[in-house]
Amino acid sequence: MTRLTIRRRRALRISRGVSGTTENLFVEVRAGGIAGIGEAAPVGYRDPQDAESAEREIGAAAPSLASLQPCQMSAVEALLKEGGVRSAARAAINIACYDWLGKRAGLPVYRLLGLEPKAPPTSVTVGINTPEVVAEETARILAETGGRVLKVKLGGEGGIEADKERFLAARGAVPDGAALRVDANGAWGVSDAVLMIAWLAEQGCEYVEQPISHEADDELPHIYEKRRLPILLDESVWTAHDAARLGRLCDGVNVKLMKCGGISEALRIVHTVKAMGLKTMIGCFGESSLAISAGAAISALFDYVDLDSHLNLDPDPAEGAEMVDGGPRPRDLPGIGVRMR
């Protein structure tokens, strides 16, 4: 296992704080002369996790894992859960097992799963800042990445009036035809959420992500009833059980490998959500191209894609999915198609 501190090109500010670096854990699983690689990135809410805790939890579970093969993913997942290993560490092991299996079979993971290497274009993210900086950063990010979809982080100082100014600044800096989405990261109260969703509906916003805190899920019925834009839940939904429990109070769910524990649980969530007639989204935390490539391997299953964290790393310690038609496309290589630099 290796812990790496990775610098971001641009510090990212959301409603919970600002970060200029991320420390991620990179792991290997080995069997039969094949190494599968995986990654854990920090999760900063509800059940905070970092690279140090992931390394500690995996290390404690390693003796029990030694009796299993990487292809025994259900058994590996069950053992990790029984041992109290949390989601980011489980995601690292699960990704590594899928990478190993793909390499063993000589197939990309997306082929193993019967999927195509295509998906909707990813959104790229502009963080909370002054309207002037938001406009500058929006233009710069879209130019650097070739992005056609912008996610605007809101929920900063100054309340919803300041958030309106930030959104208008971003909207004024995007080219014609670009899509605009908003993520409040749970920062608004119920009344502000209702007002902002109604206002954003008039401003060309496509949907609003996590308008209120995950600690206030009991308030979702009021917002859902009055919504004028689709609501997607992120912080509130970690597992397929959460999706089934809250699916009647939202229009879609944001699935993240670090939050749910890897590809296996992500597949359970996306199929649960689709069975409920809801929209699906795959997102990320501060992952490098390694975990982003794992997400890209299943991104064809999703209506919306938000896999852009690797575009803001300097340097990205991994080389993997490539931007094609505005989104990360998995390489046609065995496993998740990633090489560490």
pLDDT computed for residue 114 by the predictor: 98
pLDDT tens per residue, range 55-75: 999 999 999 999 999 999 999
**Token code pair at residue 242:** 């959460």
pLDDT computed for residue 109 by the predictor: 98
Give the separation between CA 75 and CA 264, rounded to whole angstroms. 12
pLDDT computed for residue 259 by the predictor: 98
In the chain, where the domains are located: 2-110, 112-340
Q: Answer whether 109's CB lies under 8 Å from 99's CB.
A: yes
Residue 16: pLDDT band (50, 70, 90) is: confident
Residue 247: pLDDT band (50, 70, 90) is: very high
pLDDT tens per residue, range 188-201: 999 999 999 999 99
Judged against a pLDDT cut of 90, whether residue 15 lies above it is answered with no
Indicate yes or no: pTM above 0.85: yes
pLDDT tens per residue, range 284-304: 999 999 999 999 999 999 999
Q: How many alpha carbons lie under 13 Å from residue 312 in its C-beta half-sphere?
A: 26
Give the separation between CA 2 and CA 160, rounded to whole angstroms. 42
Residue 47: pLDDT band (50, 70, 90) is: confident
Report the CATH architecture of 2-110: 2-Layer Sandwich (3.30)
Domain spanning 112-340 has what CATH number? 3.20.20.120
Residue that the structure tokens 């509800």 belong to: 46
